[in-house]
């Protein structure tokens, strides 16, 4: 066997070992855990500014968030607005980057049939407490100046 053949075989072996290691490595990376976000939260929301509508004001609310056993992906709970109106929501939680999770949820307004509020946001832990920010949209609202906006919450 000449030097050129030995070199070609050696390079082929190195390439094969490298390919095998590269395929094995992602399988060894553990999946990120689902965030355990159940708890009590204080929050605020503000409607987006719409033409011919008054300048929106920030409104506070509280949220009680319950999560499926073992920090599962199903979430539900109650949102209590400043006037005491209670809205019960249901949704799901999914993993996001850097130890954060995304919530997607909705609730219907029992006082206004067809009125649906959907919200989505990202939970991340800051100094040992969960915080989330996101957006919401409203369909069939009785108030034409309320079509959606932004929200944020902090764990109590």
Per-residue pLDDT tens over the stretch 112-139: 889 999 999 999 999 999 999 999 999 9
Which two three-digit tokens encode residue 82? 């400043």
Mean pLDDT over the full length of the chain: 86
Domain ranges of the chain: 1-30, 39-155
Residues 6+ apart with CB under 8 A from 85: none
Nearest to 137 by CA among 123, 120, 114: 120
The fold of 39-155 is Lipocalin (2.40.128)
pLDDT over 70 percentage in the chain:
79
Per residue in 36-79, pLDDT tens? Answer: 999 999 999 999 999 999 999 999 999 999 999 999 999 999 99
Chain centroid to CA 126: how far? 15
């Amino acid at each position: 066997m000449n030097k050129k053949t030995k070199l070609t075989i050696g390079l082929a072996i190195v390439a094969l070992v490298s390919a095998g290691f590269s395929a094995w490595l992602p399988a060894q990376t553990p999946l990120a855990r689902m965030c355990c976000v159940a708890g009590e939260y204080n929050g605020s929301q503000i409607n987006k500014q719409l033409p011919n509508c008054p300048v929106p004001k920030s409104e506070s609310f509280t949220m009680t968030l319950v999560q499926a056993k073992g920090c599962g992906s199903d979430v539900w709970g109650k949102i209590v607005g400043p006037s005491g109106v209670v809205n019960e929501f249901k949704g799901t939680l999914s993993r996001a980057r850097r130890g954060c999770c995304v919530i997607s949820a909705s609730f219907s307004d029992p006082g206004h049939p067809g009125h649906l509020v959907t919200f989505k946001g990202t939970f991340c832990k800051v100094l040992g407490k969960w915080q989330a920010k996101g957006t919401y949209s409203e369909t069939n609202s009785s108030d034409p100046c309320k079509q959606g906006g932004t929200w944020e919450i902090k764990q109590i």
